[in-house]
Amino acid sequence: MQLNLSPFVAFCVIVGCDPSGSAPSDQAQHGTEEFRPQKLLEPLPPLTEFPVKKVSDVGTDLNPSELVIGLTVGKESRAYPINMLTGPRREILNDTLGGKSIAATW
Amino acid sequence: MYAADVGKQKLTFGVSGMLWNRSLVMYDKETGTLWSHILGEAMQGKLKGETLEQVPCVMTDWKTWSKEHADGTVVMLSRSSKEYKTDFYKKPEQFVLGIADGDKAKAWRFDALAKTPTINDTWRGKPVAVLFDKESVSARLFSRKVGDRELSFESGETGIRDKETGSTWEPTTGRATVGPLKGKHLTPLNGIVSYREVWTKFHPKSESYPSGRK
């Protein structure tokens, strides 16, 4: 999902890049705007391995009010708790669910 | 949430360390192409112009998800933040449920959904509904077609019902739980929850519900 004011952006603000960025928002037009990304960090290795639990084994490890991204592919369902996906070392999990390759991101 | 296959190639994505319009830029390990996280589009590199297939998902709370998917699994890493709980949406006017396809986009504001938790609408000429669950602050976009039948939804004290058959529907899964259509599922569409400001930046021509207010 795309809630973008993650700690990664906080980092951007902390290191002092101009959050209004290289392209003024009034020029932003999907498909026509020039792609001018700002480099803040070196690329991080893809995340392909991470622990997975059964819902029935979670117990009190998650709070009932915590937000998750939920995905169902075929007969398989998996939740991705957002509080565990934030930060540049997370953000994207390369996963497989119901036989489908997934880039789990938000 | 994206499918990681482009054509017959399976891609492995990582954080590029770059931001574009304050939004994450991903790279794939196989070709080094740079991808806009929010658009799912290859912006630079070998696969430029390709688009990742979105996979319908829902953003909801653990209480709701774990009840509805008791036989499922969950990724368990150490917490990297604590702020993402249902009270994250204290200012619902800042959030939208949006859908985009090519140069078309539409977004429904959370403050409107909090007042009217079922919105019967159209998207690209097809009947759709936004169903909202106040308790878990979950918004989800579905097709209103079930088989040959087109439904329209209303919310009342007993939950969300369709006017045509009176069946009751679960907003987070799109499953009918009571009534003649019990057990049927609505087809989810690729709605995503986003900050309204970010949505407008990436989709400046997006239609908005309520209309006339960006």
3-state secondary structure A45-102: CCECCCCEEEHHHCCCCCCCCEEEEEEEECCEEEEEEHHHCCCCCCCCEEEEECCEEE
Local confidence band at A12 (pLDDT 50, 70, 90 cut-offs) = very low
pTM: 0.88
* pLDDT at residue A23, as a whole number: 39
pLDDT more than 90, % of chain A? 64
Q: How far is A33 from chain B (nearest CA, A)?
A: 10
Contact B26, B37 (CB under 8 A): yes
Q: Which of B24, B34, B70 sits opposite A56 (nearest CB)?
A: B70
pLDDT of residue A20 exceeding 80? no
| Mean pLDDT in residue range A80-99 | 95
> Whole-angstrom Cα distance, residue A54 to residue B74?
6
> Whole-angstrom Cα distance, residue B79 to residue B65?
19
Residue A28 tokens, joined = 């932003």
* pLDDT at residue A35, as a whole number: 93
Helix and strand numbers (H, E) in chain B are: 3, 22
Least reliable range by pLDDT among A2-6, A38-42, B199-203? A2-6
Local confidence band at A14 (pLDDT 50, 70, 90 cut-offs) = very low
* pLDDT at residue A15, as a whole number: 39
Contact status of A73 with chain B (Cβ, < 8 Å): yes
* pLDDT at residue B212, as a whole number: 64
> Which residues between 31 and 60 in chain A have a beta carbon less than 8 angstroms from any beta carbon of chain B?
31, 35-48, 50-56, 58
* pLDDT at residue A10, as a whole number: 42
Contact status of A81 with chain B (Cβ, < 8 Å): yes
Chain mean position to CA B113:
14
Q: Is the ipTM of this complex over 0.95?
A: no
Q: Which residue has the higher pLDDT, A6 or A39?
A: A39
DSSP A25: G
* pLDDT at residue A34, as a whole number: 86
Mean pLDDT of chain A: 79
> Whole-angstrom Cα distance, residue B134 to residue B93?
14
Contact status of B49 with chain A (Cβ, < 8 Å): no
* pLDDT at residue B13, as a whole number: 98
- CB contact (8 A) between residue A81 and residue B38: no
Q: How far is A75 from chain B (nearest CA, A)?
A: 9
* pLDDT at residue B155, as a whole number: 95
* pLDDT at residue B132, as a whole number: 97
List of chain B residues with pLDDT < 50: 214
